[in-house]
Structure 1
Amino acid sequence: MTIIDTALHRLPAPSAAIQALRWSMVFIFAMFGIAKFAAYEAEGVARIADHYWLFAWMYPLWGVQGASNAIGILELSAGALIAAGAWSHRAGLIGGIMGVATFLVTLSFAIGADLWQAGYGFPFMGSLAQFLFKDAVLLAACLALSLDAGHRLARTRKGAT
């Protein structure tokens, strides 16, 4: 047996990667969700979201801080459900889907936006692109968690019949 074969036999199971994704997403949702309750974050979100059709209706109803608080509650809820997915396949599936929806929404801000740095153009990202593009990997992480939870839920249901 070669050293590579030995190393390959000692690799953790793919479930270790799912757990790493789970707890990193819980951390992300907790930190960003908590931040939404602070005035500096509420103002920052409002600069982007108050003119966007998915969020614009919240600002006249709840104001800048109220809209940010609502977004924060959704983010904290997604994180809590993703965390609960360690024990409940159904909770993990719902939390993962909430995460997918969250990052689809944030990535949709790129539609029609000027993403490139003025005076440089493509591929030099402007501040909005720098803010948004990282969400592609967060979307993929939530998709992986959703698929994992869905497969585990299906196996559990199949075993129950």
Structure 2
Amino acid sequence: MREIPGGLPPQTFSIGALRWSLVFIFAMFGIAKFASYEAEGVAGIAMHYPLFAWMYPLIGVQGTSNVIGTVELATGALIALGAWSHRAGLLGGLMGMATFLVTLSFSFGVPLWQDGFGFPFMGSTAQFLFKDAVLLAACLALALHAGHALRTNGAALFSR
């Protein structure tokens, strides 16, 4: 890693830190979706959400969780590949953004504030969901980094 004046590492260091922390998060959460305890926990929120509700009658609680886990693992893999391929990084960043936009949208219509306290005292659902705002921003940063690199290098996203 090349140091710049003032002893600070280059900005690519922060992109790498975002990339590998997101890969870790997507790997750990994606793997967890294959366990029954996580499948049941996800079903408590996702079963009544229009984006996922149709899947539960078709493939069940564990099957739906397995699909979600597979998407999360694929997202993490693409984000990881972004270290070598800006196209993969852009796609992974966009998939990560979609993931966190979906999870943040769960906060509409559910109780967010702790009973007996109200705003700004978060209940367990808000505590679970609100952290995804920073994860959304991290995926946005990676997607923008890859998009800028593609544009600077004159590469199209879809080329032969």
Q: Deviating runs (4+, > 4 A) in structure 1?
A: none
Counterpart residue number, 1:78: 75
Residue in structure 1 matching 2:20, options 20, 23, 26 = 23
What does 1:23-42 correspond to in 2, within 5 Å?
23-42=20-39
Residue in structure 2 matching 1:127, options 124, 130, 137 = 124
1:43 aligns with 2:40: yes
Query: 1:156 & 1:63 partners in 2: Cα distance?
Result: 45
1:63 aligns with 2:60: yes
Query: 1:54 & 1:126 partners in 2: Cα distance?
Result: 24
* Cα-Cα RMSD: 1.1
1:107 aligns with 2:104: yes
Counterpart residue number, 2:154: 157
SS in 1 for 2:51: coil
Instruction: Name which one, 1 or 2, has greater alpha-carbon Rg.
Output: 1
Query: 1:117 & 1:8 partners in 2: Cα distance?
Result: 48
Q: TM-score, normalised by structure 2?
A: 0.93
SS in 2 for 1:55: helix
Q: Which amino acid is the alignment partner of residue 67 of structure 1?
A: T
Aligned length: 152
Q: Which amino acid is the alignment partner of residue 59 of structure 1?
A: Y
The alpha-carbon deviation at position 8 of structure 1 amounts to 5.9
Q: Which amino acid is the alignment partner of residue 95 of structure 2?
A: M
